[in-house]
Amino acid sequence: ALAAMIGAAVILTDPIFQGLAISLLFGLASSTALTVLVIPAIYVALRGPDWVARDNGTESADEPLMTEEAPA
């Protein structure tokens, strides 16, 4: 996304493509912010904070993740 933003910043000075460059920059910035910040925050809000701790290995789960052993 950074390379596309730099490329769009180059055409900001051109009066013909300025509108396209502005919409492209804001679209890339908002989609990057959604991907990096908002979507993980929604996952944490829906699944709860113990899911994050259990996934990081900082807290042991009450129940084992696998109840059966795989066949040999």
Domain boundaries, the chain: 2-53
pTM of the predicted model as reported, rounded to 2 decimal places: 0.57
Reported as a single tens digit per residue, the pLDDT across 32-56 is 999 999 988 888 888 876 766 666 6
Q: Between these two residues, 69 and 2, which has the higher pLDDT value?
A: 2
Closest-CA residue to 20 (of 8, 4, 28): 8
Tell me if residue 72 falls in helix, strand or coil. coil
pLDDT at 16 over 60: yes
Residue 14, pLDDT above cutoff 70:
yes
pLDDT for 26: 94
Judge whether residue 61 has pLDDT over 80. no
